[in-house]
A and B are shown apart, each in its own frame.
Chain A
């Protein structure tokens, strides 16, 4: 099929869920209502780290309108989304680990009664030492937050690819910098909500606003002590996720247990403050980077350390930690690379995966460092970058397979369109331009728990009416995955988009899809859909070919109509074609599935980083910095993204704009703040658990955006497509930081870049604001791995233009 023949791919088809969402008829989890439905609310800890001495629920139990009261004894089983992280409980039994951790819950006839009943539960705590920072977690003595032989430094890793010390020793110049990326949260507009219903024959159904019905299914069964076939999880449309709804949350298990106990459907709808406690957002990361260079600007080696503030539980933390070291070498050719990282437990809401999962922090550090290195070497920044970019079809030092790579073209476009080289370093004081690049996965190459099964499957059933029913476990959280399936199936099958009826995100009704994370759905569900659609297309054309006694090549099926290439005969409508094929073949169904190729390298920890493809992005930010107030205004962003192929350019552009928006929030204002002052007040209180106080960009903060899509037609992507939901966020954060430096000559090596930090840097002798020291921590023994080119396998292409 050549490009000109596409009917749907590449067209700006309106979103499949557009009209339901603009008419108010899309039903989200909190919009659902079941007969006899009752409500639950959770009692949340008021201490950051404390042993539970006693819980008295008697007065709440006696309160009118209360149907049930439960504590940790009713839900004692530990669970977690990662096999290595079984450390959470739906209601804490022994101790609480952050303010907001749940200790008890009530089911009541209405929500107001629930609030009143919670006030009647008395919990006695015995305070334990509180750890609120990486430094405190590593050095404060006392009982660690979780049991384990490493204390609060619960996960650590150390990897070396090639000989970094030798590479740095041979380098003409060596530079090092330290950065801190502050934590921030997803802040989806939709607050988490769910309804649980128990069928006394032994089946629990949970409707929940989740990005992964599959992982919630597994975790919920474990938490409830049910077998997995007794649990069904359904995700209605999700009102935003960004990584914040990717695992089982306490209220989901609690609602389920209360539904089992009361025999009534139970709704749990969190308020905004509770959403801040669920969190699982961006990890605060302290980073140190050291690189060696030839004097003309070739990168020789890189040494990198990540100190990751995990919050109170594992969540996705083991993966998050590795992601702070996994993608350092996907843009540049790095001949030797060492990474050491540690994730430290603290008494704050657990961190987890947020858009870019573990990679925006090191990307910020890397791109700011490269900007600083270019200046120190006296090499123009784009020249320095272009000397080192990784080639397409190569391997990175840490064994990641790179196929399509449009980074060079992206860089050329944003440089040209923003006139970067003519303006960088040359604008008047207060005005600046900054440059950065980034790359991201098109789906994690491995599932969260080890298995050899497909990551995504799509079932398609053709009805003789012409309806094409497409079933897939994927969930549209706003990114447009429903529309992606409509585009891909109608193109591959040859039907009209309007014929397609989607069934999504129901663990009983739809085949597996792991969830909306790691930018995996287009690549994986898209490929599964093409496989299923192609089987059915072949059946339809085969039936027509036999019926008309013509070779299949003489028949064309497009947009729901079968015609002959020679133009003779009457066209066949889709229903006619289905009837024909159904008469010959029986019921018409097909299943396609997708599993990424085996890509993990030969070392422990190699499961994080591999992906069937990588998207590439380059960005230029133009800023205005007021040296009097420190106020940073981002005026323009030019961003070019290697999308592989844009299945729907309008939706792709929407993802780019949304990524830029979220990046601007992270770089300029968004941060999780907790009360850390010593003294009589309770430590660890979230300072800003509301949408007013947690600052996020409004319409006023949006700059002019110029988006450019580069199509590299990925060899393994569905119709050549790659991801767009996360990659475009990555370069925007450092591009703004670098633009601030260009504008007023100060390095803000800590996010967010607030006016106060800019002013302090302007006053500082070293014209910098950022971390100055690293904690002392004995990293584990280095796992030394040869780079792929030293192992006789496929060589990384040399980094030449």
Chain B
């Protein structure tokens, strides 16, 4: 059991009357209404939110903050489409609880990659090289690549392949994505 899951169960046990493990209670009652107050720092903006405890970070970002750039691809941590940065580290927001990512942790989504109207070089090179085809994996790819470039400014092809190996793309065959990361790295360094 991952640390996330353990924390989640612990949290639910402390804060809700939901049956946490075992079967869902099917006989009764109104849906659980338990909510929690969260303070999230997303893309440099502070948000205070009251959200149902069961919501993942992905759901809170998309549904409560309307940051729909981050995508659902599986909700099981399998595809990488929902990656966001938390304190500079790329994490899967579909497996993260917002309570773990509260302020002062800084969350960055694809909407926060640009500085004002100045795009991050990755955003430009992905567009220029056709590294985004259908575009659904793109936010997760950009976020993961951003984390890579921040820690490894001039990555080798192998390092790029390795860093993006948890992000599935069905359109591009990945090659244009590798090239876009390399081109962006060159631009960042320059």
Contacts and interface: CB of A to CB of B under 8 A. Distances in A.
> Are the chains A and B members of one assembly?
yes
B90 interface: no
B172 A654 contact: yes
A239 interface: yes
Contacts of B54: 112
B133 interface: yes
A272 B72 CA distance: 9
B22 interface: no
B126 A188 contact: no
Interface in A56-91: 64-65
Contacts of B113: 23
B31 interface: yes
A421 interface: no
Contacts of B126: 18, 21-22
Contact of B73 (A31, A191, A662): A191
Given A18-B126, A190-B71, A702 B175 contact: yes
B160 to A, nearest CB: 8
A15 B132 contact: yes
A691 interface: yes
B132 A18 contact: yes
Contact of B114 (A23, A119, A120, A692): A23
Nearest to A31: B68
Contacts of A741: none
A657 B172 contact: yes
Interface string B129-168: 1101111111100100000000000000000111011111
Chain B interface, DSSP helix/strand/loop, else mixed:
loop
B171 interface: yes
B68 to A, nearest CB: 4
Contacts of B76: 272, 690-692
Nearest to B63: A33
Interface stretch (A365-373, A411-419, A473-481): A473-481
A23 B137 contact: no
A21 B78 contact: no
Contacts of A191: 72-73
B22 to A, nearest CB: 14
Contacts of A20: 135
B70 interface: yes
A241 B134 CA distance: 9
B111 A23 contact: yes
Nearest to B128: A14
B75 to A, nearest CB: 6
Interface residues of A, number: 63
A191 B67 CA distance: 18
B111 A658 contact: no
B30 A24 contact: no
Given A30-B72, A657-B173, A113 B31 contact: yes
Nearest to A27: B68
A119 B128 contact: no
B168 A658 contact: no
A654 B165 contact: no
B83 interface: no
B66 interface: yes
Most A Cβ at <10 Å: residue of B119, B124, B161, B168: B168
Nearest to A119: B26
A189 B127 contact: no
A390 B136 CA distance: 40
A690 B78 contact: yes
A700 interface: yes
Given A23-B69, A661-B174, A691-B76, A654 B138 contact: no
Contacts of B170: 186-189, 240, 242, 658, 661-662, 696
Contacts of A690: 74, 76, 78
Contacts of A238: 134
B110 interface: yes
A375 interface: no
Given A116-B24, A119-B26, A189-B137, A702 B174 contact: yes
Contacts of A27: 68
Most A Cβ at <10 Å: residue of B79, B113, B129, B173: B173
A24 B110 contact: yes
Nearest to B180: A22
B93 interface: no
A699 B175 CA distance: 8
A18 B31 contact: no
Contacts of A241: 134
A17 interface: yes
A226 B79 CA distance: 39
A651 interface: yes
Interface string A657-684: 1111110000000000000000000000
A659 B170 CA distance: 9
Given A112-B52, A189-B137, A690-B74, A21 B171 contact: no
Contacts of A64: 29-31
A657 B177 CA distance: 11
A576 B187 CA distance: 39
A448 interface: no
B135 A26 contact: yes
A478 B135 contact: yes
B169 interface: yes
A650 interface: yes
Given A33-B66, A691-B79, A660 B173 contact: yes
A15 B111 contact: no
Interface in A1-56: 14-15, 17-28, 30-31, 33
A272 B79 CA distance: 11
B81 interface: yes
Nearest to A659: B173
A538 interface: no
B133 A189 contact: no
A438 interface: no
Contacts of B114: 23
A698 interface: yes
A436 to B, nearest CB: 18
A109 B161 CA distance: 43
B68 A24 contact: yes
B129 to A, nearest CB: 7
A657 B69 CA distance: 25
A477 B135 CA distance: 9
Interface in B38-79: 52, 54, 62, 66-76, 78-79
Interface in A533-560: none
The 5 nearest A-B residue pairs measured at CB: A24-B69, A478-B134, A18-B127, A21-B135, A239-B136
Given A28-B71, A30-B71, A272-B75, 5 more contacts: A22-B122, A27-B68, A116-B24, A240-B136, A240-B171
16 contacts: A17-B135, A22-B122, A25-B111, A27-B68, A28-B71, A30-B68, A30-B72, A119-B24, A186-B170, A188-B134, A189-B79, A190-B136, A239-B134, A654-B133, A657-B173, A700-B161
